[in-house]
Structure 1
Amino acid sequence: MKQLLLILSISLSITISAQTDAENIKKIYSNSLTNGKSYEWLDHLSNKIGARLSGSLGAERAVAYTKEELEKLGLDKVWLQPVMVPKWIRGLPEFAYIETLPGMTTHVNICALGGSVETPDGGVRAHVVEVQGIDELKALSPDKVKGKIVFFNRAMQADLIDTFEAYGGCADQRYAGAMEAGKLGAVGVIVRSLNLRLDDFPHTGSMTYGDLPVSQRIPSAAISTNHAELLSTMLALDPSINFFFKQNCKQLADVESYNVIGQITGSEFPDEYIVVGGHLDSWDLGDGSHDDGAGVVQSMDVLRLLKESGITPKRSIRVVLFMNEENGLRGGKKYAEIAKSKKENHIFALESDSGGFTPRGFSFDCSDEVFNKVLAWQDLFKPYLIHYFEKGGSGADIGPLKSDTIVLAGLKPDSQRYFDYHHAATDVFSAVNKRELELGAATMASLVYLFDTYGTGTK
């Protein structure tokens, strides 16, 4: 009889707990959809401040604005964490054309890749060798490449449903293409924009020269997908055509910037930390609304939504707005470095860096034991059509926190439109849907609530 009563007591406790969780999550969604702040914050960040390239005035203004807004929330603590970041500037707009005969040119849209060197004052004009990737380039003899512009034209794989997988399948040519082409004596690199649709907008992004000597570093630019198709077609008709491009970018000395951090101190376990965040910096072509203004304002709203919903966190919850994810990851590395030096016990970290589209679920970097525990929460998200849980990656900025005990997670919005905007002039406030953004904020707050309530079970 005692055993039966114990089982009934445990069953009743679980049922009541599930009801409470469902009620609290419903409050969170209701508050976000009827009284959210994320869209208002994003409007200011995008339209009043704009692009926030590391080391820029826009980044500096974004630090001041988000710190001020976090202070208005009445958090227990808000502070700036200094971090040295690279300062790369684009300079005057780039210019490029395809030349079929002397004086017969067709203008094409390009943009310098982040970290690239400038062209000589007179630009670069040369014949073009087209390749489908770095492996194909390496298979060429140096005499086929020397003195030419290498055109990397591998497209994102359209039949992959996970567009981030398609992106990962060809991002290496953008990141390391100039380094490898420079080793073979090329004079420049043009890379097909990482975009699944055909349009006229070039997409920038980071690139590297590795340890290549300065004398071998060559300018690198992205070309719009429409003009990549045009260039490829014209090369097929006449391999002797020339390509010309001019860009004025420069790498300057590092400057000081900041991660912006706000905290609600835990009522029961103040020395256990939960982090939610996104990156405050953006590229300079649009205003960075999807990448990653959305993640920034969603993360800020997580703390506000918990307070508005009457939830008192057991553990200390921090929002961290990381600086310099796009071209160095300095902010994420600095936060982890300081956390480890202070021996802070971080148990869970969640990042939003996949755009402000409709949330579908989460990816988790954790043990099978923890993942099985998380799967039991899926039913709480089903009323909101958000219950796609998988093991996988999390986020670049929280990655440096990885250990045997912390659980890392990434918000997974619908990704089908993300690369239409990623790193391009199209990444602007008007591309973000208010309701989708607010659903993402509520989804993040709900997961943070569950991890705060139940912990991770790791030691």
Structure 2
Amino acid sequence: MKNNYNVRVKLFCLLVFIYAGSSNAQQSDQEQIKAFYDTALINGTGYNWLNYISNQIGGRLSGSVQAQQAVDYTKSQLDSLGLDNVWLQPVMVPKWVRGTPEFAYYETTPGMTTNVAICALGGSVATPPKGLKAKIVEVTGIEGLEQLGKKGIEGKIVFFNKPMDPTSVNTFDAYSNCVDQRYAGAMEASKYGAVGVIVRSMNLRLDDFPHTGSMGYGDQPVNERIPAAAISTNGAELLSTSLKLNPDINFYFKQNCKQFQDVESYNVIGEITGSTLPNEVIVVGGHLDSWDLGDGSHDDGAGCVQSMEVLNLFKKTGYKPKRTIRVVLFMNEENGLRGGNKYAEWASTGKEHHIFALESDSGGFTPRGFTIDGSDNAVQHIEAWKTLFKPYLVHYFEKGFGGADIGPLKKITNEKIVLAGLRPDSQRYFDYHHAENDTFEQVNKRELQLGAATMTSLIYLVDKYGID
């Protein structure tokens, strides 16, 4: 009996010791995370970085002078943080130029015209020098082409008018369900003899801003490619109503875009070397390029400065990571993903051991949580930290997509890497996505810095405890 009693006493003491250790660790984590948030909100630098990138440099289409200016500026800022290593990684990127502003109208009867706001889709060919004028037919998505057939489409402009689903609370789901008409609409419509396409902007609200974005022709010969442009949602509604009243409408548009040979650009990389596990790499990043219509503040200047802020907050709070923490500002996410692929190829060739990667590419809005691309065990492991984020109203931890630029790390390196994406509130994101109004004044400083602190906190926890 006495021996059993002694065993129970020892077991009780061990449980008390474990509980006390766990409680102390949690308190330590709470204090460190609070330091990240406090520092980000009081003494963060990300908003100032974004101000310069947006207002002094502007839109950063890959291969442009502005993209190179952004490379030079962000490298200089990473250098100023006193990191262990900062370097540029060369990558060949496409160079597409928009040219002079686009112009469009539709004609209900000879001489009776209504102007509409359009913009060329990224990668599109130009119209003939004097523009393109033809009858226009409306379809609700690519699936509508087959219903009209070649007889109903040949020699005409196809108007893709499938709207984003307003009932989708997850606006990225609404985007995914109709963006194929933007990317592949021209290629598919040309198979039926179409001479051009006009695509409803990927936008949940009605306004006069056309939204650009990438499109592709696959392996279609250049001489068979047809021009593609986006029309604003207000323009789409007006055109659709007019076609119902008069199906015999002519549409005219003119755009002067051009594709050049690939040019050299760079991923911008900086790191703090791990103190005890330097060969285990944690990546955090966003994409430095943007479309040219606005200044790319939400997409993805915000993600870049938030990622830079992670290392800045480590420095300012005195946290020394065990693992190597590396920020990567990827080039050419918007129209090619060359930067993400290049980095993954380099990591694979160098046999680097990446355990985790976090991307911010959903705007600088209030952070809500993370989506996690990993095994069920990895997702559960990260979800166990959710209570540490609740004081900051960050509750959303779900299995899902990590990010476009970090995705190749999983495909190319064949590592059991876990990917994650910061998920801000997305309800306003597509108001600005790829449009002229994606500008600095649309970003709230407090929301931006809260996102940076949220990212830093997750990177800290992964660094301290590992991923599984």
Q: Which of the five TM-score ranges fits, normalised by the shorter chain?
A: over 0.9
Q: For residues 281-300 of structure 1, what are the structure 2 equivalents within 5 Å?
A: 281-300=289-308
**Cα deviations by residue, 1:169-216 (Å, 9 ceiling, x for unpaired):** 100000000000111110000000000000000000000001112222
Aligned position for 2:458: 447
Deviations, residues 362-384 of structure 1 (Å, cap 9, x unaligned): 00001111111111101100000
1:434 to 436, 445, 451: 445
The reply to whether residue 344 of structure 1 matches residue 355 of structure 2 is: no
Matched, 1:421 2:432: yes
1:209-266: CA deviation from partner (whole Å, max 9, x where unpaired) = 0111222200000000000001001110111110000000000000000000000000
Q: Tell whether the 8 Å contact from 1:322 to 1:332 is kept in structure 2 after alignment.
A: yes
1:128-154 CA-to-partner distances (Å, cap 9, x unmatched) read 110001111123221111100000000
Indicate which of 17, 42, 45 corresponds to 1:37: 45
Mapped partners of 2:398, 2:99: distance in 1: 42
In the alignment, is residue 225 of structure 1 matched against residue 233 of structure 2? yes
Q: Shift of the alpha carbon at 1:11?
A: 1.2
- Structure number with bigger Rg: 2
**Which 5+ residue runs of structure 2 have no aligned equivalent?**
1-8
Please point out which of 230, 234, 247 is paired with 2:242.
234
Separation (CA, whole Å) in 2 of partners of 1:273 and 1:214: 42
User: Following the alignment from structure 2 to structure 1, what is the Cα–Cα distance between the partners of residues 161 and 404?
Assistant: 26
Q: 2:323 aligns to what?
A: 315
Separation (CA, whole Å) in 2 of partners of 1:197 and 1:83: 37
Q: Which residue of 2 aligns with 1:277?
A: 285
**Is the aligned partner of 1:358 residue 2:366?**
yes
3-state SS of paired residue (1:74): coil
Q: What corresponds to 2:162 in structure 1?
A: 154
Q: Secondary structure at the match of 1:139?
A: helix
| Alignment partner, residue 177 of structure 2 | 169
Identity %: 68
| Dislocated runs of 4+, deviation >4 Å | none
Does structure 1 conserve the Cα–Cα contact (< 8 Å) formed by 2:107 and 2:251?
yes
Aligned partners of 2:160 and 2:198 also within 8 Å: yes
Separation in structure 1 between the aligned mates of residue 204 and residue 378 of structure 2, nearest angstrom: 35
Check whether the contact 1:185–1:216 (CA below 8 A) recurs between aligned residues. Answer: no
Q: In the aligned structure 2, how far is the partner of 1:76 from the partner of 1:280?
A: 21
The amino acid of 1:320's aligned partner reads: V
The Cα offsets for residues 20-75 of structure 1, whole Å up to 9 and x where unpaired, read as 00000000000000001010000000000000000000000000000000000000
- Higher mean alpha-carbon deviation, 102-111 vs 263-272, is at 102-111
Quote how far apart the aligned CAs of 1:12 are. 1.1
CA distance in 2, matches of 1:259, 1:105: 46
Q: Distance in 1 between matches of 2:344 and 2:147?
A: 40
Aligned residue for 1:141, secondary structure, equals helix
Q: Runs of 5+ in structure 1 lacking a partner?
A: none
Matched AA of 1:71: D
TM-score normalised according to structure 2 size: 0.97
Which TM-score applies when normalising by structure 1?
0.99
Query: Could you tell me whether the CA contact under 8 Å between 1:127 and 1:241 is conserved in 2?
Result: yes
- Whole-Å Cα distance in 2 between the matches of residues 23 and 179 of structure 1? 55
Alignment of 1:59-458 (within 5 A): 59-402=67-410, 403-457=414-468
Once the two structures are TM-superposed, the CA of residue 4 in structure 1 deviates from its matched residue by 2.2
Deviation by residue 1:53-103 (Cα, 9 ceiling, x = unmatched): 000000000000000000000000000000000000000000000111222
Q: For the residues of structure 2 that align with 1:433 and 1:89, how far apart are their CA atoms?
A: 30
Partner of 2:4 in structure 1?
none
Q: How big is the alpha-carbon RMSD for the aligned residues of Structure 1 and Structure 2? A: 0.7
Aligned residues, how many? 457
1:141 and 1:22 map into 2 onto residues whose CA distance is: 62
For residue 396 of structure 1, what is the amino acid of its counterpart?
A: A
